[in-house]
Structure 1
């Protein structure tokens, strides 16, 4: 997780064959950017996984007094992956819970590799790793 002064992305190529055709780019400022990965073992504890995901995101937002969040699925870097359907469900529910709590949430396109640029703040808490 990062607190970023600026984050921007552009779709590059599909990582999932069934993903819709997209050519998308967006940016945001002063936001918590979460690169997340859902593992196969998380499928046994969906509720706890989502609860900790949302709680940790809200915690970091509170440290920087922001209500702006970007969620980016980063599953392709690990050997232990949940199914894409499960990961998408976790993402959708996390977005819903954060929005209900008053956060503005954006996501990078699911099922895509993306180009991105990030300007992370220098504070020690601007770069946080959480595993649960």
Structure 2
């Protein structure tokens, strides 16, 4: 089966002056209970949709592709902080929870090894979000990886 490149991971990246979240509703049963939110300043916020077809490739290759994109975006915005947010609403295709979580954890570790401050929003939750993002050309970048 030939896979169209549009079937791979979708990423919407925003440079944010400020970003905050609070857990609103748990949507995965076997996820730890989280009630506290968090806030960040001067960060790259990545809304990431990992596709089912991504699982046909090695998780490390997908992680490397994601991290390279995030590092490029951070450099373009003169920023050293990256927030990973699982956003399973950019297409109908979804990778498994286990694959997606592994990819996020590997990406976070690689970013930290490159001296980035990192965070992940709580996995398996719908969140109340507060976003303050400036309006300039590289503040918002969409990519299919």
User: Normalized against structure 2, the TM-score is what?
Assistant: 0.87
1:67 pairs with 2:80? yes
User: Normalized against structure 1, the TM-score is what?
Assistant: 0.96
- 1:88 corresponds, among 89, 97, 101, to 101
Q: Which residue of 2 aligns with 1:47?
A: 60
Deviates more, 1:70-79 or 1:46-55: 70-79
TM-fit CA distance, 1:27: 0.6
TM-fit CA distance, 1:48: 2.5
Q: Which residue of 2 aligns with 1:33?
A: 45
Divergent runs of 4+, >2 A: none
Contact 2:43/2:81 (<8 A) preserved: yes
TM-fit CA distance, 1:77: 5.1
In structure 2, the gaps of 5 or more residues are: 1-12
1:14 pairs with 2:17? no
Root-mean-square deviation (CA), in Å? 1.0
Q: Which residue of 2 aligns with 1:113?
A: 126
Distance 2:50 2:27 in 1: 15
